[in-house]
Amino acid sequence: MAMQRISEILSSRSPGNQFNDSSSSDIKLTLSSRDGISVSMNVHRQILVAHSRFFAVKLSDRWAKQQRWAAGNTGSSASPHIVEIADCEDVEVYIETLRLMYCKDLKKKLMKEDVPKVLGILKVSAAIGFDAGVMSCLEYLEAAPWAEDEEEKVASLLSELRLEGVGVGEVLKRVSIEVANNGAEEGNENEEVLLKLLHVVLEGKDEKARREMKGLVLKMLRENASHNDLRKESLYSACEGCLKLLRQHFLRAAESDLKDVGQIARQADNLHWILDILIDRQIAEDFLKTWASQTELAEAHLKVPAIHRYEVSRVTARLFVGIGKGQLLASKDVRGLLLRTWLVPFYDDFGWMRRASRGLDRHLIEDGLSNTILTLPLAWQQDILLAWFNRFLNSGEDCPNIQRGFEVWWRRAFWRRSGEQERTRSLRITTATIENS
């Protein structure tokens, strides 16, 4: 297959192009690759020397005189000189690069190629000192679209070749702000851009578009393993702005002022989104403390119609899931305060959440709540779970089912306690038997 493509390249010549023209060439160039491919072609010393520093040295005037002297002694002056280049990485790309030396408009010729082929030509051009080829390849790469998997290849090759000049920087500007700004305050500029995106999403007017962009931004941030793009302070500043608006509209709604009441669900949704980011970055403990301390909101909870307030309980649910999965490590006092402040409002809203929140994973939330309760001292577990038991019997589907947590508490409180007493008595008897023997 490779030999067929090579044969097509060697045989395709536009009128007036002397590439591989045996009638006018003065050099027979043989290229051989590491995988055994060997190809000969007809080229012209004058063209190779004019375009390539490598061939300018290899085919110097001294070399030409030696060839003429040798030809004169053998009486074969009409035969082309033979030049061999071994261990080519890719013979096909090497031939394509040499053919470019015969073109008047290199950029136009490269337009027919794809990015991988141009990267190969760039590598050969750099190796043989074909500056016009290098610049044309860089101009192509700067202007042409890249597939996502090609970006790393472009950046990697340019780094490997260590090329100098404006062209390289222009190409890398597409993927590196550091190059675009000569490295000045890169971190600050990254954060500034991301903060703008964050606030545009938080303040956007179209809800469908906001949901899509929240998912996109969260995905992009998760893919950034370094987590150096947004400072904790910046995220918490955005968080405080949303919480302030939530408090303002929630307390107004509690006083029967329902103007802009839709802002309650909007700001709660914003907080839920930022909380996802904080949990991903393992910096959500301060948010947990702040949310657990919102006693004024919790006390006003029943005064706000459920249809407007249930989104607030999704924030509480996300914290339960985070604690239950070990994504949030807070003191038992903070965990206890969260449950004392928000558990009853969460129960009150659970039916609405279950029916109205699209994509709600009920079982995930129930497991998170169970695990959160089970992280507390046993006496606290008992108070919370006995109260839940009574509520569940009277509310059914509108109450979260944390039966698994109840069973674990039961075994801890009764079965294990009884078992420990039994083992203790057995141990004492055994010891007494040994002493009497």
Contacts of 97 (CB under 8 A, 6+ apart): 121, 124, 125, 128, 130, 133
**40 φ/ψ sector (left φ>0, alpha ψ -120 to 50, else beta):** beta
On average, the pLDDT of the chain sits at 84
pLDDT tens-digit series, residues 393-420? 988 788 999 999 999 999 988 875 555 5
Residue type, 147: A
Contact 27, 42 (CB under 8 A): yes
pTM, rounded to two decimals:
0.66
Q: Helix or strand or coil: residue 377?
A: coil
On whether the CB atoms of residues 339 and 372 are closer than 8 A, the answer is yes
Taking only the tens place, the pLDDT of each residue in 248-270 is: 999 999 999 888 889 999 999 99
Summarize the confidence of residues 183-187 as an average pLDDT.
50
The domain locations on the chain are 1-102, 105-184, 231-369
What's the rounded Cα separation, in Å, for the pair 41 and 399? 82
Residue 63 has pLDDT above 70, yes or no: no
- Residue 418 confidence (pLDDT): 55
Q: Do 155 and 146 meet the contact criterion of CB atoms below 8 Å apart?
A: no
Q: What is the pLDDT of residues 294-320, one digit of tens each?
A: 999 999 999 999 999 999 999 999 999
- Which residues face 43 on adjacent strands? 27
Element (H, E) at 84: strand 81-88
DSSP 413: I
What are the phi and psi torsion angles at 41 (to 5°)? Answer: -150, 165
- With CA atoms as reference, report the closest residue to 30 among 64, 72, 81, 77: 81
Average of pLDDT values for 181-187? 50
Residue 61 CA to residue 243 CA, distance in Å, equals: 79
What percent of the chain has pLDDT above 70? 84
Asked if 400 contacts 366 with a C-beta cutoff of 8 angstroms, the reply is yes
The two tokens of residue 124 are: 């050969």
For residue 12 the two structure tokens come to 């395709």
Distance CA 41, CA 31 (A): 8
Question: Residue 412's CB: how many other CB atoms inside 10 A?
Answer: 14
Greatest CA span in the chain, whole angstroms?
Answer: 120
Segment of 44-53, 67-76, 155-164 carrying the highest mean pLDDT = 44-53
Q: Which CATH architecture has domain 1-102?
A: 2-Layer Sandwich (3.30)
Judging by beta carbons within 10 Å of its beta carbon (0-12, 13-18, 19+), is residue 276 exposed, middle or buried? middle
pLDDT at residue 47 tops 60: yes
